[in-house]
Amino acid sequence: MNELLFLFIAGSITGACLAGAFALSKVRRLKQAAAELENQLRSHSFELQITLDELAEKNHLLQQQTQTDTLSGIYNRAYFDRRMRSELKRSRREQRSLALVLLDIDHFKRINDNLGHLAGDHAIKFVANVIQQQLKRPADKLCRYGGEEFALILPNTTLQGARQLAEQIRHSLENAEQKTEPAFHLTLSAGCYAAVPGVQSDNDEYIRFADSALYRAKAAGRNQVHSYPAAAAFSATSGEVNEH
């Protein structure tokens, strides 16, 4: 009887040990499988992140290409239209003045006709660079509006501030030195408009008023700054200019 009991106990212990060993082996295999799966997930996540980074970079480059003028390197007309709509909404919401300045290279056709289109291309790039150098705020955006014409979007800027900046740009270009052969003199005319946008205000309204001022600047002899309305006075030393 004792022998049977001993054999039963011994068998039970052996069975328990074998079951424990089997369970431990299974746990180890599960841990190993889990570790391998985790490594695979990490590898896939890393590869996915690389793919996402590459895609983001390509999207960024594509966005730059679609909103940048290839000749001058500044923003293009499509960007201008989008940015103006956005700034109109924000200025209307915040009840702050938004200014638009249109600038046109004087006698540009003569440059193309007399010196060739390469000289005309140089003039556009040179003027764009001079204008860009006068901008101090990241919110101020310079765009090539079309041909030899440029547009400045100036958030939180009064008409007086816009005129002062436009006059500063005009003076800088008039006195800028070009390192080209043959050398030719460049000037520009500018038209300014600024207001707190109303409910019905849109891009066309600002363009129409700034263009009216630009037309008067050119009709008056070019190389000067005008504003809309025509009676708006300008003094570089008086009053507020809203950071310009």
Distance between CA atoms of residues 244 and 152, nearest Å: 13
- Residues 30, 140: one domain? no
In tens, the pLDDT along 141-178 reads 999 999 999 999 999 999 999 999 999 999 999 999 87
Domain at 94, CATH number? 3.30.70.270
Structural domain total, the chain: 2
- Residues 219, 130: one domain? yes
Q: Which residues are catalytic?
A: 148
16-54 in b/e form (b: 16+ CB < 10 A) is eeeeeeeeeeeeeeeeeeeeeeeeeeeeeeeeeeeeeee
Residue 240 lies inside a defined structural domain of this protein: no
Residue 2 lies inside a defined structural domain of this protein: yes
- Residues 23, 131: one domain? no
Q: Is the pLDDT of residue 234 over 60?
A: no
In tens, the pLDDT along 47-84 reads 666 665 555 555 545 555 689 999 999 999 999 999 99
Question: What predicted TM-score, i.e. pTM, was given to this entire model?
Answer: 0.72
Burial of 91 (0-12, 13-18, 19+ CB in 10 A): buried
Q: Could you give the angle at the alpha carbon of 129 between the alpha carbons of 78 and 102, nearest 5°?
A: 50
Q: Provide the domain limits for residue 220.
A: 77-228
